[in-house]
Amino acid sequence: MKPVSLQVLTKSILFASAACACLVLSGCGGTSLGTVPVQGTVTIDGNPVEGVTIVFNPDDAGGRAASGRTDASGNYTLTTEINGDGALPGGYKITVSKVEVEEDDTLPEQVDPNDEGSMDAIYGQLDTSKEQKSKNLVAKKFGNATTSGLAATVAEEGENKFDFEVTSK
């Protein structure tokens, strides 16, 4: 076996390091979809509500939907692929929903896990056949892209800020 010179070994290591760096850096560039930032505010009956889900449904069959959730001030930022990346430019029909699950208050307030009788009381009161009750805080029409009446056109350049006022009834 012929010995490898130090110069050849050094060049090989430098080339391999440069190739690895290129691969790593090429993966850190965000989405290649061409999304643009989209944000706005959603209010229900004029009030901001935390946890409202907003979905931008593309008009184009080849488009991709984007969605977001509101914070306590009613502000949202859309995500298509990577958190907060926005939406693809184009036309959208919008849906808005906010579902609250009602608590089941039929269980005992205090339970001692070491007391078999206490545990039996819990399991005896559980009704696994009943459905969990939930309530949509937004009027039903806003949960459907064809009936919501909400639309937006996301532009390639400029500010894409869309505010929506929906009702509870």
- pLDDT value at 4 more than 60: no
> What value does the mean pLDDT take over residues 44-55?
97
pLDDT for the residue numbered 134 = 81
pLDDT digits (tens, 9 = 90+) for 93-133: 999 999 988 765 555 566 666 777 766 666 666 666 656 67
pLDDT for the residue numbered 148 = 97
pTM of the model: 0.68
- pLDDT value at 60 more than 60: yes
Cite the beta strand spans of the chain per DSSP E.
Answer: 39-44, 47-48, 53-58, 66-69, 75-77, 90-97, 99-101, 134-136, 151-154, 164-166
Q: What is the DSSP letter of 89?
A: S
Query: Which token pair is 25?
Result: 């850096």
Neighbours of 36 (CB within 10 A): 19
Residue type, 50: E
| Distance from C-alpha of 167 to C-alpha of 169, rounded to nearest angstrom | 6
pLDDT for the residue numbered 114 = 74
Residue 29 binned pLDDT confidence (cut-offs 50, 70, 90): very low
77 neighbors 84 (Cβ within 8 angstroms)? yes
pLDDT for the residue numbered 45 = 97
Residue 44 binned pLDDT confidence (cut-offs 50, 70, 90): very high
Neighbours of 167 (CB within 10 A): 12
pLDDT for the residue numbered 101 = 80
| Distance from C-alpha of 97 to C-alpha of 49, rounded to nearest angstrom | 11
Q: Which residues pair with 49 in a beta bridge?
A: none
CATH of segment(s) 33-102+131-166: 2.60.40.10
Neighbours of 76 (CB within 10 A): 23
pLDDT mean across residues, the chain: 81
